[in-house]
Every structure is written in C-alpha cells, then in structure tokens.
Amino acid sequence: MTSHTELYVAVQQFYAQQMHKLDRRELKAYADTFTEDGVFGHLNGPEPTRTRAAILEFLYEYHKRFETDPMQRRHHFSMIDVRQRDDGSISSNLYSSVFITRPGRKSELAASCTLEDILVWEEGQLLTKSRLIQIDADL
C-alpha cells in the first residue's frame, strides 16, 4: 500500500516526465502516458476524445498549427490536490499554466487552466485514465 506521501511525490514525478514529453513534442511517448481506454477533453467542450490511439491522432492534428507558428510550449502544473479513491484510482485536481516562447521573442503566459485527472497504476507505473481541462478564459 502506497502512503499519501509516496503517492503525492509519484504524481509529481509522473507529471514532470509526462509534460516534458509533450513540450518536446514526443507525441507518441506522451500518448503512451494515457491508458489504452484513456479520455482527454475539455469541460464545457465537445465530447472528449476516447482511447490512446484517438488521443494520439488528435495530438498530431493539433500540433500541425506549430508548423506555421513555431513556439516552445512549457506546461507548468501546480497546486496539486491528490486523493486516493476507493476503487484504487487517484483523483488529481490541479492548476496548469502554459508559457510559450516564439523564437527570439519574449516569453508569455498563454493560458491558465484547471485540470481534473484520474490516474491509475498499471504494472507499477502511473497512467492518466482521464484528463478534463477547463481553460479560465472560457469561464
């Protein structure tokens, strides 16, 4: 049984590795941090994307915009509220800030968001089973 202390740190370490992958545009490696039946979407948005394969397809499509508008994104997660759930999964509610830097330009705050994650252990590894994003500008 993992203590809350161990779990909290495992979640922080998982998020660091997960978001480094996304920000390096290792889209396949990022998609692999979701479960096979993983869910990704926006609160108050269209139906979320379901399954790891569909998430990867969505990511390829989404990242096309960076071909004509090159930028380095950095996702910063903070204020992580981690709770063990009775079914063995983990709820993780947190803030995400996205900083972007276009080549030779000043860095800027691109978005302030909240995330509602459900994480699960699979073979000793944390994976994201569900991630629902709320962008503050949409509130």
| Interface contacts to its own copies, rule CB under 8 A | 3-6, 8-10, 12-13, 15-17, 19-20, 72, 74-82, 93-95, 97, 99, 101, 103-112, 136-137, 139
Closest CA to 130 of 78, 72, 85, 65: 85
If the CB atoms of residues 53 and 93 are measured against its own copies, the closer one turns out to be 93
Closest CA to 99 of 86, 88, 112, 83: 112
**Least distance CB 58 / its own copies (angstroms):** 22
If the CB atoms of residues 51 and 134 are measured against its own copies, the closer one turns out to be 134
Name the DSSP letter for residue 136: G
Neighbouring CB atoms inside 10 A of 82's CB total: 18
If the CB atoms of residues 37 and 136 are measured against its own copies, the closer one turns out to be 136
